Amino acid sequence: MAPQPPRLARRLLDAALPAGVRGDTVRGDLLEEFRARAQASPRAAGAWYWRQALGVSLRSLAGRRPDPLRPSKAGLMDALLIDARSSIRSLAKARGFTAASVVTLALGIGAATAVFSVVEAVLVRPLAFTDPARVMWLTEVGEKDQRPMSIAWPDYLDWRTRLTSFESMAAVQPTTFNLTGGESPERLTGRYVTWTFLHTLGVEPAMGRDLVPQDDVLGAAPVALISDGFWRAHFGADPGVIGRVVDLNGVPTTVVGVMPHGYRYNPLSNDAVYLPLGASATEDSGLPDRGNHNNVSAVARLRPGVTVESARAEVTAVETALEHEHPNTNTDVASQMMPVTERLANGIGPVIETLFAAVGVLLLLAAVNVTSLAVARSLSRRQELAMRAALGCSRRRLVRFLLAESLMLALAGAAAGIVVAEGLIRALVAAAPPGVPRLDEVRIDGCVAVFAVSVAVVIAVIVALFPGLQASRASDQQTLVRSSRGDVGSASGQRVRRGLMVVEVALAVLLLTGAGLMARTLHALIAVDPGFDPTHLLTLRFSIDGDTSTQAARDRFEARLVTFYDRLMTELRAVPGVVNAAAAPSLPIDGANWNSVFTVVGQPVPPRANLPGSAFVPSTPDLFATLRIPLVAGRYLTAGDTAASAKVIVVNQEFVRRYLKGLSPIGQRIKQGWPETPNDPLEIVGVVNDVKLNGLDSDTPCEVYLPMAQLAASSSAVVLRVAGDAPAILPAVRSVFRHLDPNLPLYNINTMDDLVDQNLSRQRLTMMILVGFAGLALVLACVGLFGVVAHGVSARTREIGVRIALGATGRQVVGLFVGQGLLTTIAGLAIGAGGGIALARLVEAQGLLFHVSARDPATFAAAIATLLVVSLAACYLPARRASRVDPTVTLRGE
């Protein structure tokens, strides 16, 4: 069978070519050439045929004339086609104006499209749930300071039985699992959930069954739901996976269901497995203790007709009742409820909203700049427009022509902007801070394309508005007479352009102040003393499984942990290139893993709501030497602090300032836990420097360091100080872990410098984008101001010649035009300064500023000074040209 051209290209040709012999001849010639080329390369032949089809179609569109024999209803379409062709020819003649406008619009629309694609994917696109707007996320928080606490498991059980606003409720506990039994151990992300989880979300397994109540009780056989990705990666998409067994945390677990393709609850990463939460609520898990908050949250679906406000009021009432019923554990505990879509945005919404506001300013700036160019062009086209009117073109027809021209311009800018947006999206995704949900879903889809085209249409109307109004007010005879005398200036046109320049300068001030505030914030964050030396540090995490079902089993497991840490530290320090090694569940910058209340022995016990709290960090003795945390008083933890020795701790300076003010800290004792908890007192033997535990932009918390030998952690981080390149020693470190435990996977492997950079990534990304926008705004404002002054010089050439002939000096002429330009700039600066304060308050309210006031005088002064200098340069160049006008030539022309 002979090769055939692409079907869509053939249809395009059929629509473009005329009927009859002429059209058939062209089709036949193209088909013959296509088949000849296809013998060498079918793909190249197809591409060649597409080029011919597109070329013929464009020529047909440009050359088509209205048919007088057509019915009258086709007249509007013919008129629009005529306007489109005329616009394309007109723009093709004005190459400089067209190129400048398309580039400006491409940058503005491209930036807006890129940021909107992130907004659409992260904040707008619906989750893969049934009616996600009615699914709420609930947790418990501190009543006074709203600090996150998660839900105590007994409180959740009470919520489930007492709340009537929800038709279904489920508890969720994120965790990780060690997957063993394969070629190499692997760390999986997953969740413990109650059996109602999928029912609450409105999701059904794609294969197998959902969890049932019998799975979700103590003593039930271990079962799991697995994700579609896990099924494909580990089981090769085997349809017989139901009933297979996987080894999770050392426990054989039966697969009972596979989640649908594309489903994800956690938008940051795909959870691999879901296990019943109720089956894990053993005594040693800590879940049955109402005083423990074990990272459990809840999702609940509102009943039909129930509002969010009424449901929130009922949750608050139940929480108040629990506080009265259980004052020892529920005092100072409140509830928090929000739509699950807002929660799963992971707090990145403020950053994206701020960037979208900034890109909106940039887009408006681009539109104003192109409008200013269009107004300048319309002044030089007054004779052409007047001639059209004199030949019978109505005002409505003239405005429609200008609108069609600006629409062609805007659509070309949108097409180029989509190309720009593709590159910007890749840059945004690469520079995005960790924790941005659904980042892998950011793309240019139909919704984003509609946004770009809609923006282009709005800009087309704005760009055509001012030239259209001017053209519609033109007096045909007067314009033709004045044009014949070479008078192409217009006082009204100059006023419009100066007004637009005021807007441009004001918008530039907005972006410059925003960029300045973020730059000062980033500088302040970088200047923060973290309290330790983050260079040449490699960090990684692991988690050891063990039997803790009985007290005897727990004792054996803890003894095993202590031995493991001793051997691990010894072997890691022996690795070539390792200077020192330590382990602790919580590392600086990375955040606290364990926070607890405590009491100071010998001091009055405060009311339960006012009990002090601190981060507690079990650690091996060399943590302080590895991180280079300075000692302030007393001593560090040592290898002599064993399970058999006295219970000791080291605290940070913030702990002493807050709870031991005026006392000598060494020798003071505290008791971790509730006042009635029978824990042994812990003696303070040292005070160390404050360390930024929860990020550089967070206040330093109180910290208590405990010997790992006295309270060993099953999940921990290892930190290694190395002599050279930190990642280079990773293979040797993996070898040490394989030697000690072949089934122990490592995860979250980073250098400490990477952790610091990740902590700064939100502010750095915001600053980078705002600085880029501000630079573009500065260029646009400079070009616009240059154009206004230059056009004023051209329009007033005769006036300048007369002034010089009457004795005006070149300096006076330069001062005249520079002064007028600076007056425009100052007006824009005054308006922009007020808007800059409003934008700065928005950035501050979103929590993006650090040690910088929203009204920082230095930032505003720098932005204003920069714009003044740039404006002065933009005005001086055309003004200097005006001072060199030869009055003899000018007056001879008169």
341-370 confidence digits (pLDDT tens): 777 765 566 677 777 778 888 888 888 888
Side chain identity, residue 682: L
Alpha carbons 796 and 823: distance in angstroms, whole number: 18
Give yes or no for a contact between 46 and 6, defined as CB atoms under 8 angstroms apart: yes
Q: Which of 328, 343, 358 is the last residue of a domain?
A: 343
Q: For the beta carbon of residue 654, count every other beta carbon within 10 angstroms.
A: 18
3-class state of residue 579 by DSSP: strand
Comparing C-alpha atoms, which of 337, 305, 339, 304 is closest to residue 318?
A: 337
pLDDT at 349: 65
* pLDDT value of position 61: 59
Residue 689 has what pLDDT? 95
More confident residue, 885 or 729: 729
Residue 608 counted as domain residue: yes
Check if the beta carbon of residue 460 is closer than 8 Å to that of residue 406. Answer: yes
pLDDT (0 to 100) of residue 633: 94
User: Kind and range of the H or E element at 256?
Assistant: strand 251-258
The predicted model scores a pTM of 0.72
Question: Contact 587/539 with Cβ under 8 angstroms?
Answer: yes
pLDDT grade, residue 576 (50/70/90)?
very high
Q: CA–CA separation, 429 vs 808, rounded Å?
A: 58
pLDDT, the chain, mean = 82
C-alpha span between 421 and 428 (Å, rounded): 10
What's the alpha-carbon Rg for the chain, to the nearest Å? Answer: 36
Single out the residue in 288, 321, 343 at which a domain terminates. 343
Count of structural domains, the chain: 2
Q: Which of 343, 365, 399 is the last residue of a domain?
A: 343
pLDDT for residue 60 is more than 70 = no
Asked if 633 and 648 touch (Cβ cutoff 8 Å), the reply is no
Supply the pLDDT for residue 485: 44
Three-state helix/strand/coil letters over 632-700: EEECCCCCCCCCCCCCEEEEEHHHHHHHCCCCCCCCCEEEECCCCCCCCCEEEEEEECCCCCCCCCCCC
Q: Is the pLDDT of residue 533 over 50?
A: yes
Total residue count of the chain as it appears in this document: 894
pLDDT tens string 66-89: 444 344 444 455 666 776 777 787
- Residue 36 in any domain: the answer is no
Q: Which pLDDT belongs to residue 146?
A: 65
Nearest CA among 527, 625, 520 for reference residue 569 = 625
Band (pLDDT 50/70/90 cuts) for residue 226 is very high
Residue 337 reports pLDDT greater than 70: yes
Let me know if residue 885 belongs to a domain: no
The answer for residues whose C-beta is within 8 angstroms of residue 732's C-beta and 6 or more apart is 575, 576, 577
| Per-position b or e across 565-589, b if 16+ CB within 10 A of its CB | beebbebbeebebbebbbbbbbbbb
| The pLDDT of residue 483 | 47
Distance CA 373, CA 463 (A): 9
pLDDT higher than threshold 60 for residue 490: no
Which residue in 49, 47, 41 sits closest to 13, CA to CA? 49
Q: What is the DSSP string of 197-252?
A: HHHHHT---SEE----GGGSSTTPPPEEEE-HHHHHHHHTT-TT-TT-EEEETTEE
Q: Of 174-178, 336-340, 605-609, 689-693, which gets the smallest average pLDDT? A: 605-609
pLDDT at 703 over 90: yes
Domain contains 813: no
**What CA–CA distance (Å, rounded) separates 335 from 162?**
14
Residues 497 and 783 sit within 8 Å (Cβ to Cβ):
no
Q: What is the per-residue pLDDT for 513?
A: 85
In this predicted model, what pLDDT tens digit does every residue of 588-599 receive, in sequence order? Answer: 988 888 888 899
Full DSSP string of 68-128 = TTS-GGGHHHHHHHHHHHHHHHHHHH-HHHHHHHHHHHHHHHHHHHHHHHHHIIIIISPPS
pLDDT score at 437: 64
Determine, yes or no, domain membership for 101. no
Residue 380 placed within a domain: no
Rounded CA-CA distance 791/500 in Å is 14
Tokens of 125: 């696109």
> Is the confidence at residue 383, as pLDDT, over 80?
no
What is the rounded (10 degree) CA torsion for 68, 71, 75, 78?
Answer: -70
- Going by C-alpha positions, the residue among 528, 527, 514, 353 that lies closest to residue 854 is 514
Structure tokens belonging to residue 875: 């005005």
What is the model's pLDDT at position 479?
46
Does residue 136 lie in a domain region? Answer: yes
Evaluate whether residue 649 is within a structural domain. Answer: yes
Cβ within 8 Å of residue 220, ≥6 positions away: 214, 276, 278, 279
Domain that holds residue 634: 545-743
Among the listed ranges 105-109, 393-397, 729-733, 816-820, which one has the minimum average pLDDT value? 393-397
Q: Tokens representing 737? A: 């872990």
pLDDT at 492: 58
Query: In 3D, which of 400, 362, 485, 369 has the Cα closest to residue 113?
Result: 362
The β-bridge partners of 631 are 688
Kindly report the three-state secondary structure assignment for every residue of 833-870.
Answer: HHHHHHHHHHHHHCCCCCCCCCCCHHHHHHHHHHHHHH
Helix axes 752-795 and 349-380, enclosed angle (nearest 10) = 20
Q: Using an 8 Å Cβ cutoff, are 185 and 176 in contact?
A: no
Q: How far lies 582's CA from each of 154, 579, 594, 766, in Å?
A: 37, 11, 18, 35
Is the predicted pLDDT of residue 268 greater than 70, yes or no? no
Distance of CA 20 to the CA centre of its chain: 57
Which DSSP category does 352 fall into? Answer: H
- How far is Cα 397 from Cα 409, in angstroms, rounded to an integer? 18
Q: Per residue in 794-803, pLDDT tens?
A: 666 677 777 7
